[in-house]
Amino acid sequence: MASAQKPLSFFENVSASFNTAAQFTEHPKGLLEQIKACNSVYAFQFPVRTEKGYDVISGWRAEHSHHKLPVKGGIRYAEEVNEDEVMALAALMTYKCALVDVPFGGAKGGIKINPKKYTVEQLEHITRRYTAELIRKNFIGPGIDVPAPDYGTGPREMAWIADTYSAFNPSQIDSLACVTGKPVSQGGIRGRKEATGRGLFYGLREACSQEEDMKRQGLTKGLEGKKIIVQGLGNVGYYAAKFCCEGGAILVGLVEYDGAIYNPKGLDLEAVVQHRKEKGTILNFPGATSIAKREQGLEQECDILIPAALENQITEQNAGKIKAKIIAEGANGPTTAAADSILLERKVMVIPDMYLNAGGVTVSYFEWLKNLSHVRFGRMGKRFEQTAFEKMLRAVETATGKAFTDTERTSIAHGADEIDLVNSGLEETMVNAYNEIRAIWRGNTKTPDLRTAAYINAINKIAVSYMELGIFP
């Protein structure tokens, strides 16, 4: 439990949630301590030449757990990056991968910079130098540690990392698998960019499909018609909002770093994006109320609040004021352990980050598999499937004497493309993982919430790995 005087650090918050869940397991103390600990942290500094001279840049890579290899997790570029944060995010990656059966340990990297303050050339230099540092200490490689995008990074940075790694390892045939989230032309996979937001939608839709759980929240079954507020209009927030709206939810509020907008009748997401492009802010969007204090944006009336920005957004200060009945965590660590206790008391249902935002790493896993197999998903089977479906359609037509329309024919006799397979694998993963966690939550009346259930599930899976390695009999 957090003390009122000194707020817990991010890593301490993750450990606090871990400890709560560990009490529901029967694993030996030593094993639990090993699972919780962050195995290795590499911290380093390097210079970058600027117009004014040199900046000394701080970088980190934390590998939280090596129970499975490679370890996996994004790289963050932000001024707030620090060692504790990188360790906490690496720990969340370990639990996240276990929950969605992605066979990796957890890791995270960070560079303490405001990317907006550097030119593209300088960012490229920083990224390539950071990669060289990781290579030097064996903190990157297809079977060792595989970074990906996170806050402040994207496909462009991943392409620089892959290119640098390949240049240092010219004879390594699998070198492209050293990083995921690459542009499709550089060995990336279709659907990776949208994956976290899409995965959030699949997870939230699954949670809302449980009538009993919705009733407990005073809500009806299904995502359709539910009012949502999204914090953060970055990659995760934008796609989460887009897919949830396509699934029937109504976007009533958006919260950004400089304030919020709210309209109980609904906001047009694309129009807001266009407005921000023109004005540099979401504020003063026509027809919506502008709220200068972003904290107040989170406290507006809605059914579901989706924090999809940074950590520590829902704390003991504002947890009592949140009106949402469901919090769907798109960001990593948006709710502190102290806020969790308040939300639990207030019967707010929290769908935890390490499950709900696992869509990104799930599709990263598919990208890694694609890179190792050196073939695009769907390439071998698509035409074969299509021909088989067409034969079936013709057989049905002969048997019934009725012809299918062209639209029916194209939609039924369609062989799977890469994007179809990626989305189907993602949906299957998110739905299964939710039901596993929910079974723990509802199966044992003492499990207080979904976060604890998720930790229990992750701990159990990691414990099996350690036991099968023979480290803990």
**What CA–CA distances, in Å, run from 341 to 16, 89, 302, 318, 335?**
11, 21, 21, 12, 10
Contact letters (x/-) for ligand GLU, 318-337, by CB under 6 A? --------------x-----
DSSP lists the bridge partners of residue 254 as 230, 261
Q: Tell me the closest approach of the beta carbon of residue 332 to ligand GLU, in angstroms.
A: 5
- To ligand GLU, the closest distance from the beta carbon of 65 in angstroms equals 14
Binding to ligand GLU by residue 72, rule CB under 6 A? yes
- Least distance (Å) between residue 399 CB and ligand GLU: 47
Beta-carbon contacts of residue 143 (< 8 Å; ≥ 6 apart) = 69, 70
Cβ closer to ligand GLU: 307 or 360? Answer: 360
Nearer residue to ligand GLU within complex by CB, 193 or 325: 193
Nearest distance from C-beta of residue 412 to ligand GLU, angstroms:
34
Q: Which of 151, 113, 142, 108 is nearest to 129 (CA)?
A: 113
- Residue 49, strand partner residues: 54
Nearer CB in complex with ligand GLU: 353/418: 353
Residues 116 to 155 in contact with ligand GLU, rule: CB under 6 A: 148, 150
Tell me if residue 108 is catalytic: yes
387-406: which residues touch ligand GLU (CB under 6 A)?
A: none
Separation between Cα atoms, residue 433 and residue 451, nearest integer Å: 13
Please select the residue that binds ligand GLU; options are 245, 328, 337, 361, rule is CB under 6 A: 361
Q: How near is the Cβ of 18 to ligand GLU at its closest, in Å?
A: 17
Q: Binding to ligand GLU (CB under 6 A): which residues in 251-310?
A: none
**Minimum distance of ligand GLU from residue 370's CB (angstroms):** 14
Burial of 402 (0-12, 13-18, 19+ CB in 10 A): exposed
- CB of 300 or CB of 423, closer to ligand GLU: 423
Binding residues for ligand GLU, total number by CB under 6 A: 11
Rounded least distance, CB 318 to ligand GLU, Å: 24
Give the nearer residue to ligand GLU in terms of CB position, either 27 or 182. Answer: 182
Residue closest to ligand GLU (Cβ): 74
Alpha-carbon distance of 113 to 97, in angstroms, equals: 27
Segments in 23-110 forming alpha helices (H): 29-36, 83-99
For ligand GLU, the closer of residues 84 and 299 by Cβ is 84
Comparing CB distances to ligand GLU, the nearer of 364 and 371 is 364
Segment contacting ligand GLU by CB under 6 A, of 248-256, 317-325, 359-367, 420-428: 359-367
DSSP label at 100? T
How far apart, in whole angstroms, are the C-alpha atoms of residue 417 and residue 421?
6
Of 32 and 102, CB closest to ligand GLU = 102
Only one of the segments 9-17, 69-77, 338-346, 402-410 lies at the binding site for ligand GLU (rule: CB under 6 A); that segment is 69-77
- Say what angle helices 29-36 and 10-22 make with each other, to 10 degrees: 150
Residues 338-357 that bind ligand GLU (CB under 6 A): 357
CB of 77 to ligand GLU, least distance (A): 12
Q: Which C-beta is closer to ligand GLU: that of 32 or that of 158? A: 158
Supply φ then ψ for residue 58, to 5 degrees.
Answer: -100, 135
Q: Which one of 108, 242, 325, 382 is the catalytic residue?
A: 108
Token duo for residue 22: 């560990």
Quick check: helix, strand or coil at residue 49? Answer: strand
In the list 2, 35, 65, 74, the residue contacting ligand GLU (rule: CB under 6 A) is: 74
CA distance 329 to 196: 11
Contacts with ligand GLU in 154-193 (CB under 6 A)? 180
- Binds ligand GLU by CB under 6 A, chosen from 13, 364, 447, 457: 364
Window contacting ligand GLU (CB under 6 A); options: 71-79, 118-126, 265-273, 462-470: 71-79
CB of 245 to ligand GLU, least distance (A): 23
Distances (CA, A) of 299 to 105, 126, 294, 317, 337: 36, 39, 9, 12, 19
Q: Which helix (H) or strand (E) segment is 201 a member of? A: helix 195-208
Burial class (CB in 10 A: 0-12, 13-18, 19+), 281: middle
Whether the CB-CB separation of 318 and 324 falls below 8 Å is answered with no
Tell me which residues in 214-253 interact with ligand GLU (CB under 6 A): none
The number of C-alpha atoms within 13 Å of 143 and in the hemisphere containing its C-beta is 4
- Please enumerate in sequence order all residues whose Cβ is within 8 A of that of 355, keeping only pairs 6 or more positions apart, or say none: 96, 99, 100, 203, 433, 434, 437, 450, 454
Q: Given candidates 59, 70, 73, 105, which one binds ligand GLU under the rule CB under 6 A?
A: 73
Catalytic (active-site) positions: 108
Note the residues at the interface with ligand GLU (CB under 6 A): 72-74, 148, 150, 180, 332, 357, 360-361, 364
